[in-house]
Structure 1
Amino acid sequence: MPTPALELSIVMPCLNEAETLAVCIDKAQAYLDRTGIAGEVLIADNGSTDGSQAIAREHGARVVDIPLKGYGAALMGGIEAARGTYIIMGDADDSYDFSNLDLFVERLRAGDQLVMGDRFKGGIAPGAMPPLHYYLGNPVLSWLGRVLFRSPIRDFHCGLRGFSRDAVRELGLRTTGMEFASELVVKSTLAGLKVGEVPTTLKKDGRSRPPHLRSWRDGWRHLRFLLIFSPKWLFLYPGLIAFVIGVLGSVALLFGPLEIGPVGFDVSSQLYLSAFAVVGYQGVIFWLLTKMYGQREGFALPRGRLFSRIAERVSTESAAFFGALAFVAGLAIAITQVAIWGASGFGALDPLDTIRLAVPATLLMILGAQTVMAGMFLGILSIDHRPAT
């Protein structure tokens, strides 16, 4: 018999939450009873060994066992198993009030596809959030999320959030750890879902043991995810800045030493600037290849107008042509220098003048070779393929 459709599933990830699980389930059940919403309380158990599963069933919740470890894995398993049109997820540590979900349901019924709680607007009880998270972790990571992805969300890591089950299932969520919290917001924003935020309160959790969250490890995982999903900021912008500074500086020193105030620059600076240009150019190539790979594999990476224009024009053939042109130009300068050296009987040369010309020649050869190899790799990414069976 088909399962009757429900309006709301309240999903809680669980790993040894025996101390607080019952009160969370009771509050969620009380909310469903008070509002008359057709719903369920679903516990996505991640391998508890303290009897959490039995407690959940005793209090009327449905338990789904999720063998793959991790916060994100538990929630993805819970989302797949949920029967509700809407899902509200929250931690089972009694830090969120499951008896007061009205604002979330109102926004979901009004058409929002992701509704985030805002703890900073709703109120954070003393001791509920460590100072490191309150003053550094959450504000900085949330600010980065707004800058990198133009997200309207001010509290990226609130554990209480509601969403349309069907809309979120189409996002292709993949992360299994704590960075799942960031992935859900980022991919919802990139996919153009209607995203909103409502005030919610956070109180000190009711557990006697330390939380599963590890501040520095999980903070780094969130930061890494935000950067990897924004190759424009990770590779393109730093790469362009380094490349332009390196090339302009190398060319300027080609005509002789320069002085800026009391500081003088000569061939040693030219050599370092050329290395700066090479590193910057590599960053730009990484941006392009990352975007191409993301497009091929179906990752929801931002696709801007700049990338679209470049992707239409760059091919293995064009990269090979311009790369070879740059390499040959550098090689021609090198051959000319050897010819001049031979004309002088292969004797001693002025080291400054020789290096001053050899640096841009070497730079052209390196950039040309990089361009050719990047074009070849781009050709590999462009090969049509069938998934392995």
Structure 2
Amino acid sequence: MSVDGGILAGTGIERVVAESTEYPIELSVVIPCLNEGHTIAKRVRQALDVLHGAGVVGEVIVADNGSTDGSAEIAEAEGALVARVAEKGYGSAIMGGIAIARGEYVLMADADESHDLTHIPRFLAELRMGHDLVMGNRFHGGIADGAMPFLHRYLGNPVLTGLGKLFFKSNCGDFHCGMRGFTRESYQRMDVRSTGMEFASEMVVKATLLRMKVSEIPTSQLPDGRDHPPHLRTWRDGWRHLRFLLMYSPRWLFLYPGIALVSLGAVGCAWLLQQPRVIDGLVFDVRSLVYAFSAVLLGFQFVAFAVFVKVFAISEGLLPDDPRLTRAFRYITLEVGLAVGGLLLALGILGTVFTFASWAKVGLGTVNFDRALRSALSSVFSLTLGVQVICSSFFLSILGLRRRSVS
């Protein structure tokens, strides 16, 4: 196979392109690789044999991520195209492989023999039916003994997949299956950014948020054939996946906790503002009122951060546009925020004047501590929240300008 080399602009990926074939390529099989010399030859041969046996015009691309054991040369000798990806990371390798793929469809599979490549025609059949993303589900297809660590099988994958389903209403039952297929057009729409292991989660999240057609088929998890420890690090990569899910869901990270704090704090303020309360001998007085006011202030900050993160993520292309947010901004404007914040400031100033006047009536001497403190707390709360509303309104307006400039 004759090839010509070059650097793919802006990526640092060495591109190796085969001569054009008689028929257009339908499927590109992309295999990320880092020192998989023990298994890569078998994987390339198996993928090519499956494609040939199914009558599929396809190619096998090995995305080499800096191997030092000759993996890239072995893959080339077996008939694969090789993308030499300089930037480290699982996601970087996959993106590098996809960058030189010529197929209408792309299928990912690992180099360590853990995925059953004879299932490739199953994925392709779903893609031909019009699905944008076809996920493998190892829990439905079968996990061989010793193929998946105990913590991954019974804690990591189920918990992270469950959170993904909860946060994003995804119907995917195995967020982290590395064997999956998708169309080139859908991949471009996803605009995946993650360079590490969380690449897998981002793809599912983006497809769900973009309302793509996602299907799932059973596939197997087999014992890997590598002669070295796995690249996956249980706790480090598990945390990176969890962090990603939280960052891509400002509702669960900020909005819902903020609403809960505001609600509980407001109830506490209304209950304690006028007088102390006693329940089973426990006295709830001004000290409890301080915490109630603090809960409202913190809750407001959480809600504001949820909106900030959402707007910023949409502006940067990390999240798709949200029509609900657009509709809300028709009414929640800078002027409305300034009016609400100004009203709170005015109430705070009036409350402060009233508190000082009450103190002056007794000659700036001793006053009823609880009553004076309730009045002072209410005034300080109103002043603080007013400033927060005004500052948040200005910052949100700035983000809105940024958003309009990129839309």
Question: Which category describes the TM-score, using the shorter chain as reference length?
Answer: over 0.9
Matched ranges for 1:1-389 at <5 A: 3-4=20-21, 5-301=24-320, 303=322, 305=324, 307-383=325-401
For 1:347 and 1:201, the matched residues in 2 are separated by: 80
| C-alpha contact (below 8 Å) 1:151/1:186 kept by paired residues | yes
- Distance in 1 between residues matched to 2:327 and 2:375, nearest whole Å: 34
TM-fit CA distance, 1:275:
1.0
Pair 309,245 (structure 1): closer, same or farther in 2 beyond 3 Å? farther
Q: Identity over the aligned pairs, expressed in percent? A: 45
Structure 2 residue identity aligned to 1:8: L
Distance 2:20 2:79 in 1: 17
Shift of 1:358: 1.7
CA distance in 1, matches of 2:320, 2:260: 22
Q: SS at 1:43's partner residue?
A: strand
Q: Is the partner of 1:330 in helix, strand or coil?
A: helix
Shift of 1:109: 0.8
Alignment: residue pair count: 386
**Alignment-mate amino acid for residue 231 of structure 2:** H
Hey, what's the Cα distance between the residues in 1 that align with 2:311 and 2:19? Answer: 42
Which TM-score applies when normalising by structure 1?
Answer: 0.96
| Aligned counterparts of 1:381 and 1:45: Cα–Cα separation in 2 | 39
TM-score, structure 2 as length reference: 0.91
Instruction: Verify the 8 A CA contact 2:108 2:180 in the aligned structure 1.
Output: yes
Mark the runs of 5 or more structure 2 residues left unpaired by the alignment: 1-17
SS at match of 1:13: strand
Structure 1, residues 96-146: CA drift from partner, whole Å, max 9, x if none?
111331211111111111000000000001111111111111001111111
Q: What is the deviation of 1:31?
A: 0.2
Q: Secondary structure at the match of 2:26?
A: strand
Q: Deviations over 1:328-375 (max 9, x none)?
A: 211211111011111211001122111122222211111111000011
Which amino acid in the other structure matches residue 111 of structure 1?
G
SS in 1 for 2:275: coil
Distance 1:277 1:304 in 2: 28
| CA spacing shift, 1:204–1:350, aligned 2, 3 Å | same
Q: Please tell me whether the aligned partners of residues 114 and 225 of structure 2 are also in contact (alpha carbons under 8 angstroms).
A: yes
**Equivalent-residue separation in structure 2 for 1:195 and 1:302 (angstroms):** 20
Q: Which moved more, 1:172-181 or 1:255-264?
A: 255-264
CA offsets 1:47-101 (integer angstroms, 9 cap, x no match):
1111001110111100011111110111111112111111110110111111331
Distance 1:123 1:213 in 2: 21
Letter in 2 for 1:254: L
1:177-234: CA deviation from partner (whole Å, max 9, x where unpaired) = 0000000000011111110000000011111211111111111111111111111111
Check the 8 A contact 2:246/2:252 in 1, yes or no: yes
> Aligned partner of 1:269: which letter?
S
Q: Distance in 1 between matches of 2:38 and 2:333?
A: 59
Structure 1 Cα separation of the partners of residues 282 and 217 of structure 2: 55
Residues 291, 301 of structure 1: 8 Å contact kept? no
- Contact 2:123–2:181 (CA<8 Å) still a contact in 1? yes
- Offset at residue 386 of structure 1 (A): 6.3
CA distance in 2, matches of 1:296, 1:199: 37
Q: Which amino acid aligns with 2:197?
A: M
2 CA distance for matches of 1:246 and 1:189? 35
C-alpha separation between the residues in 2 aligned to 1:134 and 1:72? Answer: 22
2:389 counterpart letter in structure 1: T
Mark the CA change 1:262 to 1:199 in structure 2 (over 3 Å): closer, same or farther: farther
For residue 302 of structure 1, report the CA deviation from its aligned partner. Answer: 6.8
> 1-side partners of 2:159 and 2:204: how far apart?
15
* Mapped contact 1:253–1:270 kept (Cα < 8 A): yes
- Distance verdict in 2 for CA 1:332–1:204, change over 3 Å: same
> Which ranges in structure 1 are unaligned for 5 or more consecutive residues?
none
- Summarize deviations over 1:23-54 as a string: whole Å, max 9, x none: 11111011011111000000011111110011
Name the Cα RMSD after superposition.
1.7
Displaced runs of 4+ in structure 1, greater than 6 A? none
